[in-house]
Structure 1
Amino acid sequence: MGAEHGSPERRDAASEEASAARGSSSAAGDETPVRVCVIDLGTNSFHAVIVDVHPSGAFEWVDRLKEMVHLGEGRSLEGGRLTEAAMTRAFEALERIQLLARGWEAWEVVACATSALREAENGGAFIERVRRELGLVVRPISGAREAELIYRGVRHAVDLRGAPALVVDIGGGSVECVVGDGETAHFAESLKLGAARMTARFGKSDPLSEEDGAAIRAHYREALGGVRAACREQGGRRLVGSSGTMESLAAVCARRQGRGGESIFQQAYSAEAFAEGAAWVAGASRAEREACDQIEPRRVEQIPAGAVLVDVLLEMIPEIEEVLVSPYALREGMVVNFIDESRERIRRLAPLGGVRERSVVELGMRFGWEEAHARHVAASALQLFDAVRPLFPTNGRDALAADRELLKYAALLHDVGYHVSHRRHERHAQYLIEHSDLHGFTGREVTLLALTARYHRGDVPSEEKDASFAALSEADRARVRRLAALLRVAEALDRSHLQNVEGLRATLTDDTLALALESNGDSRLEGWAVEQNRALFEEVFGREIVLEC
């Protein structure tokens, strides 16, 4: 008596998984978050955060890494070139960040470059090198976009409802100023007033001499006129600072007020007290700044320029009554933006359990897959695999599980080549799979997956005709032939792309594989397609396919 797999009701264990592959949803409670790595490539430092994003839009921190790179050294902030030393530090930092992302199995990496990289003459060449050697796509963003993302991050952490607030983020190369409330940014401007840039231009004395101090203040007053006008026009009464310079200034202010034990993010400072703290930092010597525990060592050199800017702003806009500090800034705004742009993808990917399956499904969505057809083919392929499992080499359960998983993913992606062209779409599918940076797979697995998808139709695997197939080991060539043979039959079982076959029972005997089809429509096209595509199966497995429609 032959071994039987599946039934019209599709209720055995194998069929339950196959049914899931057809697209049934997990319960909401079973949904796992989507893990994302966000990288802010700043002028002084690179910040990376790993977050778990939920379909609801909520997110939680997993890990973070900060690397000081000092990209702005030399003349790069004045349209010059990044130094070789700075680029080496930056590249090595990105290598470590990439290792972190891979270690946490991040599903996607979002990287944005700010002032130093967008202004440097050789910034584009560095970004291209990162893409070429690390496979990491870095997107330079404009100052206006940077301001928008900072505002979105701050708004997520600080209650901006009511009267508009002035949001100020002091970076190394630029300062972003936004006047907005809980709903709208009424004014946004990015100014080339970053602490590293201003220190290089005006910070020749330490502590700041009267002459240097007067020069930098005059420069700020001229540059910040539009910010003052916008804040007054909107009736702003609060200044909300973000990022490291503002955090250090807040810590100094808290210490001076005897509130050093409280979180700087949970305090409101009077504008007068904050200005006094900023004035102290601006006038302190390097030795005094180094001795101040509230100033991070890496900010000792540049913080006076930031302190003067805050002091000038509060002087120019006397209407500001209090100062707050946001724990969120650009990178958190990037997370919020990613969620807003990807909410539908996240909703669809969250029920999937592992980074490999998520990566496969995301690739299918990216290239406009026909999801119902892909999942139907995957379901049928898994049932066929289970039916002929006794005919596979006895290399252990792990080897069988690995083949079964690769077959499933090849089935889900077998038609992505349609994104390029209908003609020879199987070859386009191979190329897209091989060059799309699937997460969680080894290079060998990607090759096997791509070749299996490649041979779901058309030519049969041949060492003479296909160099990539010939390059495989003998064992892997046999694996591709077995999996491609199953995929051809599974694809034939939905030749109409209408999912007419809703039930499949497969019975294996010493001579045949009998397929009993339960249809919800006319499945004659599927029967014809199986007849046309059974040859490779019969050659590989030594069993004749017999249809029982």
Structure 2
Amino acid sequence: MRTTNQHLPEIIAAIDLGSNSFHMIVARLEATGTISIIDRLRENVRLGGGLDENGIINESAQNRALECLEKFSQRIRELPQSAVRIAGTNTLRIAENAQAFVDKAENILSHPIEIIAGREEARLIYLGVAHGLAAKKGNRLVVDIGGGSTELIIGQGMTALRRESLYTGCVSTSKRFFNDGIITEKTLNTAITEASLILFPQAADFKTRQWDETIGCSGTIKAIANIVHDEGWCLNGISYSALKKLRDALIKAKHIDKLTLKGLSDSRKPVIAGGLCVLLAIFKILAIKQMQISEQSMREGLLYDLVGRITHHDVRDATVESAMTRWGVDDKQAQRVTHTAEKLYLSTCKQWGIAAEQITPLLKWAAMLHEIGLQVSHNNYHKHGAYILQNADMQGFSRQEQALLAALVLSHRSKFRTSAFKQLMTPFIKTGKQMCVLLRIAVLLHRGRTDLPLPEININVQDKNINLCFPKNWLDENRMTLADLIKEINHLDNAGYKLRFE
């Protein structure tokens, strides 16, 4: 793969694994950091429609999805991992067999799949939309109705100020209320009421923030905008009166198969009723009169976020700094441990074969945040820290990345909990445990919390054998560190690692 003089990948790609449709966008990355879209692919797979009452994605839906990914893979298989981001949304957040599906999909794509939380999805949606709009003063409300979730964001410029993700979407609503294809006024009203109840707890907070324009994006809203335009009900975006006319047209048709609306594609028919009900509820609850349409959404947001990572403007760095401030982390101690952990990593990465550029920054962030739980309690602070990192709203991080951070912080001291790593995605399991060994050693070496520099420490690793070599007499002069290292031998031995030092 040819790269620019700045060692940027020439081609980058993003894939959005939505509950209704899968989208891929491919772009050329210029030396200036700007992107030029060169290809877009979309396929309606209705993955969320294959979820049964037990939360299992059925075989038919999985096959549709995997066949789509076979096509997508032809464009990205040869791209380096640093040039591709693939994100799964609501269906893969809630499905019981999500990991089994992800394993199959990753095997096809030859790239890792991130499962992102709802608010992270909202952030990426806003990022994509904001890049496609002219700069304006004032706030904007961005709405995205997906297959299984709906995202609402208030932002200003490029910054999302308030993000929310709600468990209602065009696929889930259509499946629940219109699965037999029959449309009645009573069923429509019931579906609208149900969506309104989900939206209602967020309404007051959103309204108090106010906004100057409302922007809708993605499949459901764009499909409705096409219909109301082609039918002549609204020639500029979507109005509330146009939505009511569309509602009346659905009631008149009585069945999905009998819909003959201009601008309505066959692939959108099965989920149009559910999507309309959610959008009507949003207009009503938030008192929206008019909505403009954005051609950009989460997939573009993924691309712009990827460019930030490539050009060293990673939002995750800011997220970690913010978390340290919020939770009162001792910055000096965090820097000491991080510096040593990174030195240990540089000495061992080749010996251990750790080359995953998407994984290694997580060691740095875990070192920065390893004491985040101290503000909760000094007793078992590592457990509190792990809980925070597992469940916090951390912008830029996928769920799998937060799970790895949590596992590292949970096991950075005392017992090495190998069970926490077994639950991680496959690429994180072995590497995660190796990173944890390095983090434990770094924390141990800085127990004294002083600015006195450490001596040159040589580390050699082979499989699960770790050898540390200290300068002559240094351990005799630092008896507390020696005592800690003796204890560490037992902790690591229980995890299957053999620590030796001299």
Distance 1:272 1:165, change over 3 A: farther
2:20 is matched with 44
Displacement after TM superposition at 1:197 (Å): 0.5
SS of residue paired to 1:148: helix
Write out per-residue CA displacement over residues 454-488 of structure 1, whole angstroms, 9 at most, x where no aligned residue.
xxxxxxxxxxxxxxxxxxxxxxxxxxxxxxxxxxx
8 Å Cα contact 2:231-2:262 kept in structure 1: no
Letter of the structure 1 residue corresponding to residue 40 of structure 2: R
SS of alignment partner, residue 304 of structure 2: helix
Match of 2:348 among 421, 427, 435: 421
- Structure 1: segments with no counterpart, 5+ residues: 1-24, 261-266, 347-416, 437-549
Q: Secondary structure at the match of 1:110?
A: strand
Alpha-carbon distance between aligned partners in 1 of 2:252 and 2:211, rounded to the nearest angstrom:
28
Alignment pair present for 1:307 and 2:276: yes
Once residues 81 and 64 of structure 1 are traced to their aligned partners in structure 2, the CA distance between those partners, rounded to angstroms, is 30
CA RMSD of aligned residues (A): 3.3
How far residue 230 of structure 1 moved from its aligned partner, in angstroms, is 2.9
Deviation at residue 150 of structure 1 after TM alignment: 0.5
Check whether the contact 1:207–1:283 (CA below 8 A) recurs between aligned residues: no
Matched, 1:333 2:281: no
Distance 1:336 1:208 in 2: 40
Residue in 2 aligned with 1:228? Answer: 203
* Secondary structure of the structure 2 residue equivalent to 1:97: helix
Partner of 1:117: 92
Aligned match of 2:58 in 65, 74, 83? 83
8 A contact 2:154–2:160 mirrored in 1: yes
Conserved in 1, the CA contact under 8 Å of 2:238 and 2:290? yes
Is the 1:163–1:235 Cα contact (8 Å) retained in structure 2?
A: no
Match of 1:515 in 2: none
Indicate the residue corresponding to 2:310 in structure 1.
342
Task: For residues 96-136 of structure 1, give each alpha carbon's deviation from its aligned partner in whole angstroms, at most 9, with x where no partner exists.
Answer: 11112247899722100011112110001211233345432
1:395 maps to which residue? none
Name 1:35's counterpart in structure 2. 11
TM-score normalised to the size of structure 1?
0.53
Higher-Rg structure is 1
Stretch deviating more after TM superposition (282-291 or 93-102) = 282-291
Tell me if structure 2 keeps the 8 A contact 1:161–1:183.
no
Write the letter of the residue equivalent to 2:226: A
TM-score, normalization by structure 2: 0.58
Aligned with residue 211 of structure 1, among 186, 194, 218: 186
The Cα shift of 1:338 comes to 0.9
CA contact (8 A) 1:114 1:143 kept: yes
Instruction: Tell whether the 8 Å contact from 1:179 to 1:230 is kept in structure 2 after alignment.
Output: no
Counterparts of 1:195-344 in structure 2, within 5 Å, are 195-204=170-179, 206-257=181-232, 267-277=236-246, 280-281=249-250, 284-286=253-255, 290-318=259-287, 320-344=288-312
- Percent identity reads 27
Partner of 2:38: 62
- 2:148–2:168 Cα contact (<8 Å) kept: yes
Q: Which residue among 71, 74, 79 is the counterpart of 2:47?
A: 71
With a CA cutoff of 8 Å and minimum separation of 6, indicate the structure with the bigger relative contact order. Answer: 1
| Residue pair 1:168, 1:176 contacting (<8 A) in 2 also | yes
Q: 1:96 aligns with which of 71, 78, 82?
A: 71
Question: Which letter does structure 1 place at the counterpart of 2:348?
Answer: S
Work out whether residues 27 and 39 of structure 2, in 8 Å CA contact, stay in contact via their aligned partners in 1.
yes
Question: What letter is aligned with 2:282?
Answer: L
SS of 1:236's equivalent in the other structure is coil
In structure 2, distance between residues paired with 1:74 and 1:331: 23
Q: Aligned pair in 2 of structure 1 residues 321, 237: CA closer, same or farther (>3 Å)?
A: farther
Q: Whole-Å Cα distance in 1 between the matches of residues 177 and 199 of structure 2? A: 17
Distance in 1 between the 2:24 and 2:352 partners?
Answer: 34
Contact kept? 2:185, 2:251, Cα under 8 Å: no
CA distance in 2, matches of 1:155, 1:283: 38
Q: Distance in 1 between the 2:183 and 2:191 partners? A: 10
Question: Hey, what's the Cα distance between the residues in 2 that align with 1:418 and 1:206?
Answer: 58
The 2-side partners of 1:95 and 1:223 are apart by 36
Q: 1:49 to 1:92 in 2, by over 3 A?
A: same
How far apart, CA to CA, are the structure 2 residues paired with 1:148 and 1:432?
Answer: 29
Please give the alpha-carbon distance, in whole angstroms, between the structure 2 residues aligned to 1:84 and 1:93. 14
In structure 1, which of residues 167, 182, 185 is the aligned counterpart of residue 160 of structure 2? 185
- The aligned residue for residue 455 of structure 2 is none
For 2:190 and 2:157, the matched residues in 1 are separated by: 36
Contact 2:184 2:254 in 1 (8 A): no
Deviation by residue 1:477-518 (Cα, 9 ceiling, x = unmatched): xxxxxxxxxxxxxxxxxxxxxxxxxxxxxxxxxxxxxxxxxx
In 2, distance between residues paired with 1:257 and 1:150? 29
Name 2:102's counterpart in structure 1. Answer: 127
**1:39-91 superposed Cα distances (whole Å, 9 cap, x missing partner):** 10111221111111224332111112112222123434x65111122222222
Instruction: Please give the secondary structure, in 2, of the residue aligned with 1:172.
Output: coil
Shift of residue 160 of structure 1? Answer: 6.5
What is the CA distance between 1:198 and its match in structure 2? 0.7
- What is the alpha-carbon distance in structure 2 between the residues aligned to residue 418 and residue 214 of structure 1? 59
Q: Which secondary structure state, in structure 2, belongs to the residue aligned with residue 46 of structure 1?
A: strand
Q: Is the 8 A contact 1:249 1:278 kept in 2?
A: no
Q: How many residues align?
A: 326
1:307 Cα deviation after fit: 1.0
One-letter amino acid of the structure 1 residue matched with residue 304 of structure 2: V
For residues 332-481 of structure 1, the aligned pairs below 5 Å read: 332-344=300-312, 419=346, 421=348
Classify 1:54/1:33 alpha carbon distance in 2 versus 1 (closer, same or farther; 3 Å). farther
Q: Which amino acid aligns with 1:330?
A: M
Distance in 2 of aligned mates of 1:66 and 1:292: 22
Q: Is 2:144 the counterpart of 1:169?
A: yes
Structure 1 residues 107 and 257: CA distance shift in structure 2, 3 A: same
User: 1:106–1:122: structure 2 CA closer, same or farther, 3 Å change rule?
Assistant: closer
Do 1:281 and 1:303's aligned partners in 2 also have CA atoms closer than 8 Å? no
